[in-house]
Amino acid sequence: MADFDPFLLKRPHADLVWRDGGPISQHSGDIYFSAENGLEETRAVFLAGAGFPERFNRDLTVVAELGFGAGLNFLALWQMFNQHAPAQSRLHFVSVEGWPVRRADAERALSAFPKLETLRHALLEAWPSPHKGAHRRIFDDGRVVLTVFHDEAEAALSQMELTADAWFLDGFAPAKNPDMWSPALFSHIARLSKSGAPAATFTVAGIVRRGLAEAGFSVRKQPGFGRKRERLEAVFEGMDSPESLNGLAPPAAVSGPIAVIGGGIAGASLVEAFAQRGRAVTVFAEGGWASGASGAPAGLLTPRLEAADRPHNRALLAAFDFAAWRLRGLDLLGAGVLRCARDAAGQDRLRRLAEQLDARFSWRDRADPGASGLWMSEAGQFDPAAVVRALAAGHEPAGAKVVSIAKHEEAWTLTLQDGTVHRPFAAVICAGGHAGSSLTPGLLEPTSGHVAVFAGEGELATPVAWGGYAAPMPANGRLVGATHVKNACPGAADDAAAELRRTAAEAPVSLTLGALREIWGGVRAASPDRLPLCGRSPGPRFNARWRETARRGSAPDRILDDLDGPLVLGGFGARGFAHAPLLAEHLVSVLCGEPGALEHGGLQALHPARLAWRALRRGA
C-alpha cells in the first residue's frame, strides 16, 4: 500500500538513487531507464514498437502512457514528431505518474541525452507540480500538447475520456510494482483505445500478457532491446468503445464557425486556444478587449486555497498552475505573493496548507507574527489589460452588444443591440461575465467591487493578501483592493475609496496611504456555489426531461442529448485570470475532438448543468 497521507493535495515525490545504469526508484527498486542507452531503448521499445513515425499520418495523434517518469518517452516522441509529422499534424500526449519526479531530478536524468537538449529545456520550464490531478502544458504554439495525470494508474485512467491511437505501457515491472497492473487497469485501457491501437511495453510478464488479451488486445512477444531478451507488442482488436463515464456530458465536437461573446480574460483565452488549433472565431465584445471586470489597473494572480482533496480543488489548483506558467512565459507576471491571515485560526489553516501543498507554497515567519504567512512563489502581480491583449494576439472583436441568441436545428443566431443578426454559428460560447449574464439566465450572480491606487509610504516590496490585498505600483504607489458587494452595482467612488482605506488599515504590514490617484469599479460574475462554469448550459428541455429522475433520487447515467443551451465559460468571481486560461483550453479541446484538460470529476464539479440538477434534486 502507498505510504502517504491520502488527504494531501499532492502526490509523494519519487525518491531516486543514482547508479551507473541511471536513476532508480527507491519505492519500487526498478530503474527508470539506462543512462547508457535509454534513448535508443525508448525509440526501439516504445516508438518503433507502437508504429512510429509511420503513425503520424493524421491531423491529430493521441498517445497515452503509463509511467511519465522524467518524460523521456515524451521527449523522444516529440523529437520524432518534429522530424517526420506533416506540417498540419498535432500531437496529444497523455500520461500517468503516481510518483512525480522532482524537476531537479528530471533535469539530472535527462542531461544524459544531449540530442534532446532544446526540448528538454522547454519541458523543464513547464514542469508540473506534484498536485493531484491533471496538468496541461502546451508547446510549439499548440502543435504539441502534454497532459500528465498525477495519481495511481487505475484512479487516473478512471478519470479520462479520450480515444488513444497508441499506448506506451512504461510502468515499473509487475514483479516490483504489482498493484499497478490490475485487471481494472486493462479494462480502462481498452475503453480508452481506438480500434487498431498498438500498445508497446518492455515487460513480457504473464499478468500483462493475460490482462491485455482479456481486454481485447492481440499480444505477441518481440525480440527485446539490450539485455532484455523479449518485449511485448499488442494491438487492440475491439471496436472504438462507445462507453462513456456517467454524469453530465462534455460538449460534443463541432465544426464550422464559432462565436465568442465577451472581451475579458475568458474571451481572450478562448481566442488563443482556438488559434492554436487553426480555428477562427468571431468575437463580440462591447467595449473591446479588457473591458468590464478585466479592466482593473492591476491584479494579483493567486490560487483558490482549500485544504481538501476534492475534484473542484484539483481542477482549480491545476488552473492556477497553468495560468502562472502561461503568464510567466509571456513575461507578464511578477514573482510571489504573501498570504496572511487575520487571526490565529487563519494562520493555523495557512500553516496546514503549506504542508499539504508543494514546495511552491511555504510558510514564512516574520518578526511581526501578524505579518507571517504563506509565501506563494508562483503567484504574482500582473497588468490585466496587457495579459488580455497578449492572449488575443491582435484579434479584433466586434464592438457590439449581443442581446439574444437562438438555436434553430443545429445552427445558432445572434442578434445585436442595433438589430443586426449574425448567423449561422455551429457553437456560441457565452464568456462575457456579468455583462452577458442575461444570455444564460439563472447561472450567474453579480458582485460589484472597487480597487484603487493611492500614493504610498513605507516598505512594500512584494504584494500581500489578507482578505484585502495590496501591491506596489509605479512612483511609490499602492494598489489596494478590493471591495465586494453582492447583487449590487458599483457605488460612489468616494465611498469605495474610504472603504479601501479601512481595508488597508487592517493589513498585516504597514500601509500609509496618501492621495487617491486612480479608482476602478466593476461588476464580477459568480455562480451561486462560487465555482466556475465550463461547458454546455442545460437549456430549456432539461428540467422537464430530468425532474422525475431527480425526484426518485436516481443518479443520471449520461446526460447528453438534453443539454441544448449555449456553451458557458464564466462565473470566475475575482479569479478569472487564475482559472479562465485552463478552462478555456479544456473547453476548446473537447470542442475540437481532443482529450480534455480536466479530470472527469473536475468536469462534473464545474459543469453548468450541475446547478439545475441540484435544484431538481431539492424539488425546486
| Helices of type H across 262-396 | 265-275, 311-329, 344-356, 384-392
Residue from 606, 607, 612, 605 nearest 543 by CA: 612
Say yes or no to pLDDT of 407 above 70: yes
CA distances from 405 to 316, 425, 440, 533, 620 (A): 30, 10, 10, 19, 26
287 and 152 in one domain?
no
Q: What is the mean pLDDT of the chain?
A: 90
Amino acid 117: pLDDT: 96
pLDDT digits (tens, 9 = 90+) for 43-85: 999 999 999 999 998 899 999 999 999 999 999 999 999 999 9
Q: Are residues 470 and 417 both part of a single domain?
A: no
Residue 325 maps to a domain: no
DSSP codes of every residue in 536-554: E---TTHHHHHHHHHHTTP
DSSP 404-454: EEEEETTEEEEEETTS-EEEEESEEEE--GGGGGGGSTTS-EEEEEEEEEE
DSSP codes of every residue in 40-59:
HHHIIIIITTTTTTTT--SS
- Within 8 A by CB and 6+ apart from 515, the residues are 454, 455
Cell output for 440: 444564460
Sequence-distant (≥ 6) Cβ neighbours of residue 184 within 8 angstroms: 154
The tens digit of pLDDT for each residue in 362-375 reads: 998 876 666 789 99
Query: Has residue 37 been placed in a domain?
Result: yes
> In the numeric block, which cell numbers belong to residue 374?
504563506
> Does residue 597 sit in the same domain as residue 496?
no
Assess whether 476 and 604 both reside in one domain: no
User: Are residue 491 and residue 417 in the same domain, yes or no?
Assistant: no
Kindly state the average pLDDT of the residues 403-423: 93
pLDDT at 167 over 90: yes
pLDDT by residue (tens digit) across 349-401?
999 999 999 999 999 887 666 678 999 999 999 999 999 999 999 899 998 89
**Partners of 149 in beta bridges:** 96, 134
For residue range 76-122, list pLDDT tens digits in order.
Answer: 999 999 999 999 999 999 999 999 999 999 999 999 999 999 999 99
Which of 491, 526, 561 is the endpoint of a domain?
526
d(Cα 334, Cα 332) in Å, to the nearest integer? Answer: 7
> In this predicted structure, what is the pLDDT of residue 1?
33
Percent pLDDT > 70 in the chain is 95
- For residue range 430-478, list pLDDT tens digits in order: 999 888 889 998 899 988 889 999 998 777 888 999 989 999 999 999 9
- Could you tell me the pTM of the whole model? 0.95
pLDDT digits (tens, 9 = 90+) for 21-51: 678 888 776 777 876 688 999 999 999 999 9
> Which CATH number belongs to the domain containing residue 176 in this structure?
3.40.50.150
Residues 47 and 121 placed together within one structural domain of the fold: yes
In this structure, of 7-11, 423-427, 487-491, 585-589, the range with the lowest mean pLDDT score is 487-491
| 150-165 average pLDDT score | 96
Backbone angles phi, psi at 209, to 5 degrees: -60, -45
Q: How distant, in Å, are the alpha carbons of 58, 361, 457 from that of 47?
A: 16, 37, 61
Q: Which of 526, 548, 574 is the last residue of a domain?
A: 526
Could you tell me the CATH number of the domain that includes residue 260?
3.50.50.60
540: preceding bond cis by omega (within 30 degrees): no
Measured over the CA atoms of residue 593, residue 598, residue 602 and residue 605, the dihedral's sign is negative
Whether residues 550 and 485 fall in one domain: no
> DSSP letter string over 116-184?
GHHHHHHHHHTPPPSBSEEEEEEEGGGTEEEEEEES-HHHHHTT----BSEEEE-SPPTTT-GGGS-HH
Whether 328 has a pLDDT exceeding 60, the answer reads yes
| pLDDT of residue 319 exceeding 70 | yes
Q: Is the pLDDT of residue 6 over 70?
A: no
In a domain, 324, yes or no: no
pLDDT tens profile 193-242: 999 999 999 999 999 999 999 999 999 999 888 777 889 999 999 887 75
409 in the same domain as 393: yes
Share of the chain above pLDDT 90, in %: 68
> Which residues are 90's β-sheet partners?
60
286 and 139 co-located in one domain: no
Same structural domain for residues 462 and 571? no
pLDDT of residue 91: 98
Examine residue 60 and state whether it is found in any structural domain, yes or no: yes
564: three-class secondary structure by DSSP? coil
- Count up the domains in the chain and report the number: 3
Same domain, 474 and 612: no
Confidence of residue 4 (pLDDT cuts 50, 70, 90): very low
pLDDT of residue 369: 61
| Helices and strands in the chain, H and E counts | 16, 31
pLDDT score of 523 = 87
- Residue 9 in any domain: the answer is no
Amino acid at site 421: V
270: phi then psi, degrees, rounded to nearest 5: -65, -45
User: Can you tell me the distance from the alpha carbon of 115 to that of 227, in angstroms, rounded to the nearest whole number?
Assistant: 23
Other Cβ atoms less than 10 A from the Cβ of 556: the count is: 18
Under the banding of pLDDT at 50, 70 and 90, the label for residue 559 is low
Looking at residue 2, its pLDDT comes to 43
Question: Which of the listed residues 474, 494, 526 is the one where a domain comes to its end?
Answer: 526
311 assigned to some structural domain? no
Range(s) of the domain holding residue 511: 445-526
The three cell numbers of residue 93 are 500526449
Cβ-contact 174, 203 below 8 angstroms:
yes
Q: Would you say residue 274 lies in a domain?
A: yes
At 84 the pLDDT is 97
On the question of pLDDT at 158 being above 70, the answer is yes
Nearest to 60 by CA among 86, 80, 84: 86
User: 272 in a domain, yes or no?
Assistant: yes
3-class SS of residue 321: helix
pLDDT band at 3 (very low <50, low <70, confident <90, very high): very low
In this model, does residue 312 exceed pLDDT 90?
yes
Locate 80 and state its grid cell. 520524432
Going by the DSSP 8-state scheme, the letter that residue 343 receives in this structure is S
| Residue 275 pLDDT level (bands cut at 50, 70, 90) | very high
Sign of the torsion angle spanned by Cα atoms 18, 19, 22, 25: negative
* Domain shared by 534 and 563, yes or no: yes
